[in-house]
Amino acid sequence: MVWGIDMEFDKEIVCKDRNGNQNQFKYSLEESEENGKVKWIFRVMPYDMNAPDWFEFAVTVINPTIGKVTVMDNRNMVEYRGKGITENMIAEAAKVLGLTIISSSNNPQKKSLSVEWRTPAADVVWERLRSKGLATYNEEDDIYTFINEH
């Protein structure tokens, strides 16, 4: 498979879908840059690599200890919808990057990037994490923070 970019899907992650089934995925991790900040791009594919496109998840480094989720795009593909990938990638990013992972904000005074917003679909993901005790929410800043398990 040629993607036009030299990507190695050499890392694995297991996600539990909405029905409780476990699904294996592979992902690649690429360091990029956006507006002078380091951006880590995770590209997730089914374990058998049989999909026309990948699930993209990105974290932009805000400071040496904090990374902000800036992309979570399942491309509305059946291979990725409802599979629990986003929640797992937030935890994986915290572990792999060694950062506290936060959401984007919709409060204009609290945005740390020039182009930043959080979608209603992202709210659902973060609220699901919060209901499991894996995230907190700061209403004033309109920012969720993932609680690292280690």
The 10s digit of each residue's pLDDT in 14-33 is 999 999 999 999 999 999 99
Is residue 150 pLDDT above 70, yes or no?
no
pLDDT at residue 54, as a whole number: 95
Q: What are phi and psi of 58, to 5 degrees?
A: -135, 145
Domain annotation covers residue 2: no
Is residue 4 pLDDT above 80, yes or no?
no
Domain annotation covers residue 39: yes
- Tell me what the pLDDT averaged over the chain comes to: 92
Domain annotation covers residue 125: yes
Other Cβ atoms closer than 10 A to 132: 10
Domain annotation covers residue 5: no
Other Cβ atoms closer than 10 A to 130: 16
Total domains in the fold of the chain: 1
pLDDT digits (tens, 9 = 90+) for 94-120: 999 999 999 999 998 888 888 889 999
Sole residue written with tokens 């992902």: 27
Domain annotation covers residue 56: yes
pLDDT at residue 1, as a whole number: 38
Express as a percent the part of the chain with pLDDT over 90: 85
Domain annotation covers residue 3: no
CATH of the domain at 74: 3.40.630
Domain annotation covers residue 4: no
CA distance 70 to 129: 17
What is the span of the domain harbouring residue 68? 11-146
User: Cβ distance 57 to 48 under 8 Å?
Assistant: no
pTM score: 0.91
List the beta strands (DSSP E) in the chain: 11-16, 22-34, 37-46, 55-63, 66-73, 100-102, 135-138, 143-146
Q: For the chain, give percent helix, strand, coil, nearest 5.
A: 20, 40, 45
